[in-house]
Amino acid sequence: MKDLIRLDQVSKEYRDNGVPVLALDRVSLAIGQGEFAVVAGPSGSGKSTMLNLIGGLDLPSSGTVTVVDRDTARLSGSELSRLRLDSIGFVFQAYNLIPVLTAYENAEYVLLLRGVPRLERRERVLGLLKTVGLEGMENRFPRELSGGQQQRVAIARAIAPEPRLVLADEPTANLDSKSSADLLALMMRINMDKNTTFLFSTHDPEVIRLARRVIRLRDGRIVSDGPEA
């Protein structure tokens, strides 16, 4: 299995009111194409920091983050944007939908940036919105949707371009149990059918149970890595 993601002795330090905080401490990790993996751990363990580094939303203080054979620290801002556009789908806990766009337009947005033809965009987006339970809500704006519905739009947006990698920060946090199960089943099917790599940050025991690999963090370090017992 070819490595899609590689972290080599990666540390990330932030400053909190001038006080240094070590969010990740010399983490080394490889994730192959097609994995369905979870990063788990208590709040403050470094889960979101790891996903942000892998997604090129932040850069390491030391060490190397390699995604799709690219060292993120060596890329310009435009090159990082291109890497994210071409290869990575994001699902944020805070949704990050564009408030002036409808559910349809938010889900379509990355396809539009990629230059996907209009009819193909429409077919793909309408199909995904139906799959995530939002059929008939295509023209609603984020303010007209519940938190769970907004999360479903965010998930549709992430997977619409069929990226090689999907990074999901607590993707089921605002969903009821049936919606969570439906979305996890959808992601697992995409993982199997498209060989898409999924990496979740989560506290959800159901997501952890379904993952084929669980990477547990504590105090910025990996304390275990492998199938859950």
Question: Across residues 155-160, what is the average pLDDT?
Answer: 90
pLDDT in tens, 165-219: 999 988 887 777 887 887 788 888 889 988 999 999 988 888 899 899 999 999 9
What is the pLDDT averaged over residues 1-8?
A: 89
Asked if 105 and 169 touch (Cβ cutoff 8 Å), the reply is no
Domain-embedded: residue 128: no
Identify the pLDDT of residue 101: 97
Provide the angle, in degrees to the nearest 10, between the axes of the packed helices 147-159 and 177-194: 0
Q: What is the pLDDT of residue 17?
A: 85
Checking if the pLDDT of 19 tops 80, the result is yes
Question: How many CB atoms neighbour CB 106 within 10 A?
Answer: 26
pLDDT of the residue at 173 = 77
Rounded distance, CA 193 to CA 154, Å? Answer: 21
The answer as to whether 33 is a domain residue is yes
Q: What is the mean pLDDT of residues 13-21?
A: 88
pLDDT of res. 187: 85
- Please state the domain count of the chain: 1
* Domain presence at residue 114: no
Is residue 154 included in any domain, yes or no? Answer: no
Confidence of residue 4 (pLDDT cuts 50, 70, 90): very high
Does 45 map to a domain? yes
User: Would you say residue 8 lies in a domain?
Assistant: yes
142 within some domain: no
Model pLDDT for residues 211-225, shown as the tens digit of each residue: 999 999 999 999 999
pLDDT at 158: 92
Residue 67 lies in a domain: yes
CATH code of the domain covering residue 81: 3.40.50.300
Residue 35, token pair as written in the block: 């994995």
pLDDT digits (tens, 9 = 90+) for 97-147: 999 999 999 999 999 999 999 999 999 999 989 988 899 999 999 999 988
Q: What is the pTM of this model?
A: 0.88
Q: How many CA atoms lie within 13 A of 227 on its CB side?
A: 2
Instruction: Kindly report the backbone phi and psi dihedral angles of residue 49, in degrees, each rounded to the nearest multiple of 5, phi listed first.
Output: -60, -45
* Predicted local distance difference test score (pLDDT) of residue 1: 63
Residue 153, pLDDT > 70, answer yes
Contact 29, 222 (CB under 8 A): yes
**Which residue segment(s) compose the domain that 74 sits in?**
3-95+164-226
Mean pLDDT for the stretch of residues 80-91: 92
Give the DSSP per-residue string, the chain. --EEEEEEEEEEEEEETTEEEEEEEEEEEEEETT-EEEEE-STTSSHHHHHHHHTTSS--SEEEEEETTEEGGGS-HHHHHHHHHHHEEEE-TT----TTS-HHHHHHHHHHHHT--HHHHHHHHHHHHHHTT-TT-TT--GGGS-HHHHHHHHHHHHHTT--SEEEEESTTTTS-HHHHHHHHHHHHHHHHHH--EEEEE---HHHHHH-SEEEEEETTEEEEEES--
Whether the pLDDT of residue 15 is over 80: the answer is yes
pLDDT digit string (tens) for 25-80?
999 999 999 999 999 998 889 999 999 999 999 999 999 999 999 999 999 999 99
DSSP string covering 164-193: SEEEEESTTTTS-HHHHHHHHHHHHHHHHH
